[in-house]
Structure 1
């Protein structure tokens, strides 16, 4: 009788552990999907702000409220066959008019103060938004550019990005450790 009780007790304990581990995995997956996730930077399109192999963390709550702001750094699905994840800076939101002229970016007729760019950065137009052309960003979309304008493949070439394609808003560079930084 004691052995049976002990076996049932061990079985109940194993079941409890499995249940707790299962619940923890589900909570972690939900947290990663809807709240906070790690993203690795692959490439140089955001230099000097972010470098190749930097490790960042993105928050996802602003995606649900659609409160993406100008100047924020976001990650999104590129829409290409490999579904690469791109990281870029938000230049314009729905309703904004974007223009590139004389190597500078204008939003709603005002030249942007892009202090995050390297000194003497020249922004040229692309195949989607050429120089001296104006583009109005549709509602539900954003216009993005990389900080390393010479090499960045961004909205100047592929057009606006749907808010539905966003993965998150970069809030922290966690690695390299000597370059840890919070972003707004």
Structure 2
């Protein structure tokens, strides 16, 4: 009878350890997200599944070109996914459909089409990033007041991998 009790105890301990590990991993290390909408086309398609590294920005700040998930500033229950275009201290400007960071035009081979909007020259404040979707003309991003410069504390993590559907499997920059 005692061996049955020991086996049950071992199972309970194993299950509890697995639950705690899953909680720690999901809370602090990685999380899975589903792309919802066309704002990151052609890089990401709606309904693709992503692995997001939640730990990396505890070690360093976001870098230009990275794709990140952040909480929408007007409703933090919603998550957005966009590309970092400029970081603190950079100047950002959009004119004639081209994006300029620190007065240099970006070579953006990842965008669907050049943007139809303009954005006046501005400096990215400390502790924030300027983000845009790759589908510039169908993206709610830092160009608009409801998003604006995204504060670091709203950033959830860096998108590192598309894992579903299988044919779309790829590492992200």
Task: Return the TM-score normalized by structure 2.
Answer: 0.93
Whether 2:171 is the aligned partner of 1:178: answer no
CA distance in 1, matches of 2:46, 2:74: 20
State which structure, 1 or 2, has the greater radius of gyration over its C-alpha atoms: 1
CA RMSD of aligned residues (A): 1.4
CA distance in 1, matches of 2:76, 2:65: 27
Whether 2:156 is the aligned partner of 1:162: answer no
Indicate the residue corresponding to 2:79 in structure 1.
85
Q: Deviations over 1:47-103 (max 9, x none)?
A: 111011011111122110133110010001113336111000000111111011111
Q: Which consecutive segments of 4 or more residues in structure 1 shift more than 3 A?
A: none
Residues matched between the structures, number: 171
Q: Deviations over 1:2-21 (max 9, x none)?
A: xxxx1x33223212211111
Q: For structure 1, which segment, 55-64 or 148-157, has the greater mean C-alpha deviation from structure 2 after superposition? A: 55-64
Indicate the residue corresponding to 1:144 in structure 2.
131
Unaligned runs of 5+ in 2: none
Indicate the residue corresponding to 2:16 in structure 1.
22
Q: CA deviation at 1:121?
A: 1.9
CA distance in 1, matches of 2:76, 2:61: 28
Q: Is 2:91–2:122's contact at 8 Å kept on the other side of the alignment?
A: yes
Secondary structure of the residue aligned to 1:33 is helix
Q: Is 1:105–1:123's contact at 8 Å kept on the other side of the alignment?
A: no
